[in-house]
Amino acid sequence: MKAHDIRRQAFCMPLHSPSYPPGPYRFVDREYLIVTYRTDRAALEKVVPKPLEIVDPIVKYEFIRMPDSTGFGDYTESGQVIPVRFNGEMGGYVHAMFLDDDPPIAGGRELWGFPKKLASPALAVEHDTLYGSLDYGPVRVASGAMGYKHRAMDAQAAARALGEPGFLLKIIPHVDGTPRICELVRYQLGDVALKGAWTGPASLELHPHALAPVADLPVREVISGVHLLADLTLNLGEVVHDYLAT
């Protein structure tokens, strides 16, 4: 292969059998269970990178079903998003993500810098309860529950929440192990078609694990539970801070 052939084809690994197609990526019937809880500010200060600002000691624990997504297929995801402020704009810093499908793990890490790891999350309705779980190997590290569609949520408030930007710490090492890319990335969801939004009584349990340390941001008080169903597009990102240039 000549150099221009490599450059023309090189958008992800591996070159001759890419793990995912070029974006952007459309999701149909993406379903969320989001349990918002209060935690310890000191714990957040250990993990939120500057120049992001912590506003309140709040975490959003998410369980997400994605049955139909461009190039990524059918998978489930679970993790923690921390509300933050950047240059006066509110958004969410994605602290941890665990999922059960290789293409979105590879694509999420390589393109945007999503902190994705392989695990076994689930989201399903059990009788009168929407139930989410996360297993890392044989160990249950997170479980969340919410009364199924107890009350309709304000649709505009739900749409605004989905419209807030997300922030990621993208790290790609050099061949000698030193950081070659170390950036703060901003991304946005687009073309959101909200199909339903509900709230109700919610609970959340987090358990310690050496390689899935979601319990390092402990649950002090559950604030709310939200159940969302939407079609949306995950747009490509932009670099808003380069840690290697400062």
pLDDT in tens, the chain (246 residues): 889 888 888 888 898 999 999 988 999 999 999 999 999 999 999 999 999 999 999 999 999 999 999 999 999 999 999 999 999 999 999 999 999 999 999 999 999 999 999 999 999 999 999 999 999 999 999 999 999 999 999 999 999 999 999 999 999 999 999 999 999 999 999 999 999 999 999 999 999 999 999 999 999 999 999 999 999 999 999 999 999 996
Q: Is residue 230, in this structure, part of any structural domain at all?
A: yes
What pLDDT does 185 receive?
98
Helix (H, G, I), strand (E, B) or coil at 215: helix
Place of tokens 């995801």: 77
**Of 62, 51, 107, 113, whose CA–CA distance to 84 is shortest?**
51
122 located within any domain: yes
The pLDDT of residue 174: 96
CA distance 84 to 72: 28
Contact 186, 91 (CB under 8 A): yes
- Domain containing residue 223: 23-242
Confirm whether 172 is domain-assigned: yes
Residue 15 located in a structural domain: no
pLDDT of residue 239: 97
Q: What is the pLDDT of residues 146-166, one digit of tens each?
A: 999 999 999 999 999 999 999
- Give 141-168 as a 3 state SS string: EEEEEEECCCEECCHHHHHHHHHCCEEE
Write the CB contacts of 203 (distance below 8 Å, at least 6 apart in sequence): 35, 144, 145, 146, 222, 225
How much is the pLDDT for 125? 97
Spell 162-191 as b/e; 16+ CB within 10 A means b: beebbbbbbeeeeeeeeeeebbbbbbbbee
Give pLDDT, residue 9: 86
Structural domain contains residue 17: no
Q: Evaluate whether residue 6 is within a structural domain.
A: no
Identify which of 195, 124, 188 has the alpha carbon closest to the alpha carbon of residue 155.
195
What whole-number distance in Å separates Cα of residue 57 and Cα of residue 82? 9
| Residue 146 maps to a domain | yes
Residue 157: the pLDDT is 92
Q: Is residue 196 part of a domain?
A: yes
Catalytically active residues are 116
pTM, entire model: 0.95
Query: Residue 168 maps to which CATH number?
Result: 2.40.400.10
Number of domains in the chain: 1
Whole-number pLDDT of residue 11: 87
Report the distance separating Cα 28 and Cα 151, nearest Å: 23
**Residue 24: what pLDDT?**
86
Q: Looking at residue 106, what is its pLDDT?
A: 96
